[in-house]
């Protein structure tokens, strides 16, 4: 009888021990992210944006690169909270990562347009008519129309090229803190195209002692991802576009994030034009 009671107690202890282990077990970060994305999705559908935000904040604490739809959910939640800038940034990140095949691609584009419209309506009347920091890359027709208006041309390609080269001219990278406008210095880039639908990049480098060095490179755009990525190194006071194929530093400018963002948009528009 005592042996039987002891066996029963031992079995209960083992069951309780196993249950305790199950409670303390944790999901690997990639699985926890998927769980939290489901929570966010269901919470947004039920319009519980507070719970959705909590789930997304916890994803941000997992120290892993979030799945692409995280940025769409974050855009929805931020927009609902009235944080238009953060919402737009998240939605643009989603579009650039997911591309036109993304599950929420068209919805994200419409939301970006709505956010830009809201911001434009709240802009003071004395603000310049064209604010390029608010142009949506994906609204390509509207973007090209504004560029043609600005540069007084009927050619999409010519307008984009003039815009790109204007940005490059105004934001030349020099190694020192002061740029001397009366001197040839720094790394000077100029963009053109040729009859083979190639994007041609000409660089004149004045940073080395002696005569300037010249390099010419061509990018065949067929099959290339048109969404040009960018980055900055603020210690070196430089920003740049990544090469769409080689993923190396490609076109370097001074550390001007607004100019870099517009340069990336314009280069994307140009590549898309050449791919037609």
CATH number, domain containing residue 70: 1.25.40
Sign of the alpha-carbon dihedral angle for 237, 272, 76, 125: positive
pLDDT per residue of the chain (276 residues) written in tens, 0 to 9: 555 555 545 555 555 555 444 445 788 888 898 999 999 899 888 888 889 889 898 888 887 888 899 999 998 988 887 788 888 988 988 999 888 888 899 888 988 888 888 777 665 554 445 454 444 444 677 888 899 998 999 999 999 999 999 999 889 888 765 555 556 677 889 999 888 888 999 988 877 655 678 889 999 988 888 899 999 887 788 899 999 998 889 999 988 888 899 999 999 999 999 988
Work out the burial of residue 147: count CB atoms within 10 Å of its CB; fewer than 13 is exposed, 13-18 middle, 19 or more buried.
buried
Asked if residue 87 and residue 116 are part of one domain, the reply reads yes
State the Cα–Cα distance between residues 69 and 100, nearest whole angstrom: 13
165 half-sphere exposure, CB direction, 13 A CA radius: 16
Asked if residue 182 and residue 255 are part of one domain, the reply reads yes
State the Cα–Cα distance between residues 201 and 267, nearest whole angstrom: 12
What Cα–Cα distance (Å) separates residue 122 from each residue in 112, 117, 136? 16, 9, 17
Domain boundary residue, one of 121, 151, 180: 121
State the Cα–Cα distance between residues 129 and 9, nearest whole angstrom: 80
Domain boundaries, position 39:
29-121
Q: Is the whole model's pTM more than 0.75, yes or no? A: no
Work out the burial of residue 224: count CB atoms within 10 Å of its CB; fewer than 13 is exposed, 13-18 middle, 19 or more buried.
middle
Decide if 230 is inside a domain.
yes
The answer to whether 86 touches 56, Cβ cutoff 8 Å, is: no
Q: Name residues whose C-beta falls within 8 Å of residue 75's C-beta, 6 or more positions apart in sequence.
A: 87, 88, 90, 91, 94, 108, 111
Domain boundary residue, one of 121, 149, 167: 121
Decide if 24 is inside a domain.
no
Asked if residue 144 and residue 77 are part of one domain, the reply reads no
State the Cα–Cα distance between residues 270 and 199, nearest whole angstrom: 9
Q: Name residues whose C-beta falls within 8 Å of residue 173's C-beta, 6 or more positions apart in sequence.
A: 186, 187, 237, 238, 252, 253, 254
**Number of domains, the chain:** 2
């Amino acid at each position: 009888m005592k042996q039987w009671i002891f066996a029963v107690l031992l079995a209960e202890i083992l069951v309780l021990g196993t249950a305790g282990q199950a409670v303390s077990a944790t999901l690997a970060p990639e699985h926890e992210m998927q769980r939290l994305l489901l929570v966010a999705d269901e919470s947004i559908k039920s319009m519980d944006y507070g719970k959705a935000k909590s789930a997304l904040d916890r994803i941000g604490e997992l120290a892993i690169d979030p799945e692409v739809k995280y940025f769409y959910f974050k855009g929805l939640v931020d927009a609902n909270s009235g944080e238009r800038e953060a919402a737009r940034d998240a939605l643009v990140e989603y579009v650039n990562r997911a591309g036109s095949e993304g599950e929420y691609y068209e919805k994200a584009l419409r939301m970006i347009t709505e956010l830009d419209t809201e911001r434009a309506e709240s802009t003071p009347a004395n603000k310049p008519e064209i604010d390029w920091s608010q142009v949506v890359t994906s609204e390509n027709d509207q973007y090209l129309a504004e560029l043609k208006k600005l540069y007084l041309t009927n050619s999409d390609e010519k307008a984009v090229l003039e815009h790109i080269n204007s940005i490059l001219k105004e934001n030349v990278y020099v190694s020192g803190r002061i740029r001397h406008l009366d001197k040839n210095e720094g790394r000077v880039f100029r963009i053109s195209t040729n009859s083979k639908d190639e994007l041609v990049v000409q660089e004149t480098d004045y940073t080395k002692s002696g005569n300037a060095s010249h390099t010419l490179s061509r990018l065949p755009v067929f099959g290339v991802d048109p969404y040009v990525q960018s980055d900055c190194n603020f210690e070196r006071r430089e920003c740049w576009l990544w090469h769409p194929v080689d993923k190396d530093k490609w076109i370097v400018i001074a550390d001007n994030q607004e100019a870099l963002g517009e340069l990336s948009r314009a280069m994307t528009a140009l590549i898309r034009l050449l791919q037609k």
